[in-house]
Amino acid sequence: MTQNSTIQGPIIALFEPDIPQNTAAIIRTCSCLGAKLEIIEPCGFLLNDKRFKRVVMDYMDEKDIKFYKSADEFFTSKKNQRIILMTTKASISYTKFKFDKNDTILFGRESAGVPDKVHKSIKYKLKIPMKNDKRSLNIASSVAIILAESLRQNELI
């Protein structure tokens, strides 16, 4: 399947990602589905990490990735845009939510999510329902689920 590269769609944002292999897998997912990716630094790894490079292969197109030096820089740039936080602490399922095609969908750190200050500042918080005895999905899996649903709802795939 090919994707029309002129279609504007959701933006996936990663808050201070920890694990190079997860970030690389997310880059591949965004590349294959035509989504922009934004990374809020600092990352818990270097972009020249061999674990990162092994997974990202040739899918990393830097024109489709925007880096922010801090959360403050990210939120300042998004002040007039809708941000949706994906969190296990939310009460609303992503299946009950209407995504807009220009949403920024934010995912927290694998190890700690987002700080309470960030969590409290975001209006829209969603979760992926899971069995009660499970803690969380892998972030790369979560991004794929949510990105696919947003693209489907907005008829971008």
Q: What pLDDT, on a 0 to 100 scale, did the predictor assign at position 157?
A: 78
Is 49 in contact with 77 (CB distance < 8 Å)? no
72: Cβ contacts below 8 Å, ≥ 6 apart: none
Q: What pLDDT, on a 0 to 100 scale, did the predictor assign at position 125?
A: 97
89: Cβ contacts below 8 Å, ≥ 6 apart: 113, 119, 125, 127
Is residue 57 scored above 90 in pLDDT?
Answer: no
Mapping DSSP to helix (H, G, I), strand (E, B) and coil, where does residue 137 land? coil
What domains sit in the chain, N to C, each tagged with a CATH number?
11-153 (3.40.1280.10)
- Give the pLDDT mean for 74-92: 95
